């Protein structure tokens, strides 16, 4: 019988292992891209504990997920994402913590380095198994899109509204990606060298392929995301060095990345729905 696998007794706490695909999941869900205040979202989720941690109360989650959201000056998008995503994560019966990683001005935005900071800071707080790095403007439209890790890194976007639910190119690896702790460690994380817009996602993909992983994706109707249009942010201008950097991604991989991430935490806020970690990073990496 299908369910018998899912209800194995969990020895540690005498509860049952959560189903991989809970019966509450329905497939397509309506996204709500309208502005919402943080207090409105907070009021919807009393079961989420301070710092943004949630655990299902009727079963033992299969892994501990750290959701890493790089976010500077994008509060409106962050609130919209939380308003849409949290209910999906809860329905999927996940044990998760939301980390918002913010970067101090004036340094140019560095998305890849904020991933590394999120990974390192999350592991100082708990023993996470799975890390999902998530742009704040990517909204899943299907709750079968399971926020979990597997034997290879996963790219969650199979189609995005702004590209008519397609992708800009086949090897595209931007937006939302998942790694186990071991996978991220093995690839030496992201590069820290991409200040400004572009290239860091291609570099990350080169790193996974170079270490023998392949990129997983859900079928198109599952990895379908809506997005909000926005102007290029100040402090995140296109990075002209990105093409040269990407061309040397594999050569640099072991010497530069997670093992060379230097930053200074300037503020930690344990909000109701997330732990916000603000960092200062230096441009002379």
Decide: residue 211, CB within 10 A, 0-12 exposed, 13-18 middle, 19+ buried: middle
**Residues 224-243 interacting with ligand UD2 (rule: CB under 6 A):** 233, 235-236
Residue 74 interacts with ligand UD2 (CB under 6 A): yes or no: yes
SS3 assignment, position 134 = strand
Least separation, in Å, of the C-beta of 4 and ligand UD2? 40
Pair 128, 66: CB distance under 8 Å: yes
CA–CA separation, 158 vs 174, rounded Å? 11
Q: Pattern 94-123, binding to ligand UD2, x per CB under 6 A?
A: ---------------x-x------------
| Number of chain positions touching ligand UD2 (CB under 6 A) | 21
CA 9, CA 71: separation in Å to the nearest integer? 39
For the bound state, the minimum distance from the C-beta of residue 172 to ligand UD2, rounded and expressed in Å, comes to 8
Among 95, 143, 201, 226, interactor with ligand UD2 by CB under 6 A: 201
CB of 109 to ligand UD2, least distance (A): 5
Nearer to ligand UD2, 143 or 202 (CB): 202
DSSP code string of 210-243? HTT---B---TTTSEEEE---PPPTT--B-TTHH
- The CB-of-34 to ligand UD2 minimum distance in angstroms stands at 18
Which tokens sit at 274?
């997330």
**For ligand UD2, which stretch binds (CB under 6 A), given 18-26, 67-75, 90-98, 267-275?**
67-75
For ligand UD2, which residue of 52, 56, 198, 223 counts as binding (CB under 6 A)? Answer: 198
Cβ proximity to ligand UD2: between 226 and 256 the closer is: 226
* 176/225 Cα distance (integer angstroms): 10
Instruction: Please tell me whether residue 197 binds ligand UD2 under the rule CB under 6 A.
Output: yes
Q: Between vectors from CA 17 to CA 13 and to CA 19, what angle results, nearest 5°? A: 155
Residues in CB range of 171: below 8 A, 6 or more apart: 202, 205, 215
Q: Which of residues 119-178 bind ligand UD2 (CB under 6 A)?
A: 135-138, 160, 174-175
Residue with tokens 């603000």: 278
- Contact status: 72 vs ligand UD2 (CB under 6 A): yes
Question: Closest CB to ligand UD2 among 155 and 181?
Answer: 155
CA distance 49 to 274: 9
- Nearest of 111, 208, 100 to residue 150 by alpha carbon: 208
Closer CB to ligand UD2, 59 or 71, in the complex: 71
- Smallest CA-to-CA distance from 241 within 189, 191, 188, 196 is with 196
Shortest CB 27 distance to ligand UD2, Å:
22
Which residues lie near ligand UD2 (CB under 6 A)?
Answer: 70-74, 109, 111, 135-138, 160, 174-175, 197-198, 200-201, 233, 235-236
């Amino acid at each position: 019988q299908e369910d018998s696998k899912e209800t194995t007794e969990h020895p540690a706490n005498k509860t049952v292992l959560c189903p991989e695909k809970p019966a509450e999941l329905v497939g397509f869900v309506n996204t709500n891209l309208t502005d919402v205040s943080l207090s409105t979202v907070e009021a919807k989720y009393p079961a989420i504990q301070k710092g943004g941690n949630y655990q299902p109360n009727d079963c033992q989650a299969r892994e501990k997920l750290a959701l890493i959201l790089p976010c500077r000056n994008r509060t409106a998008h962050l609130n919209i994402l939380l308003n849409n995503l949290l209910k999906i994560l809860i329905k999927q019966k996940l044990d998760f913590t939301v980390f918002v990683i913010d970067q101090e001005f004036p340094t140019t935005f560095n998305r890849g380095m904020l991933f590394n900071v999120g990974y390192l800071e999350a592991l100082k707080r708990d023993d996470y198994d799975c890390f999902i790095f998530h742009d704040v403007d990517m909204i899943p439209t299907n709750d079968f899109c399971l926020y979990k890790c597997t034997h290879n890194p996963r790219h969650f976007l199979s189609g995005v509204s702004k590209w008519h639910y397609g992708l800009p190119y086949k090897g595209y690896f931007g937006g939302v990606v998942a790694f186990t702790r071991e996978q991220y460690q093995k690839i030496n994380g992201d590069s820290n060298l991409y200040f400004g817009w572009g290239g860091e996602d291609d570099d990350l993909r080169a790193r996974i392929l170079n270490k023998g992983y392949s990129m997983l994706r859900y079928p198109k109707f599952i990895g379908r995301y809506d997005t909000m249009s926005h102007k290029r942010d100040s402090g995140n201008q296109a990075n002209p060095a990105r093409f040269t950097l990407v061309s040397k991604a594999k050569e640099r991989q072991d010497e530069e990345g997670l093992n060379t991430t230097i930053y200074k935490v300037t503020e930690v806020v344990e909000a109701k729905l997330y732990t916000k970690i603000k960092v200062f990073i230096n441009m002379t990496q």
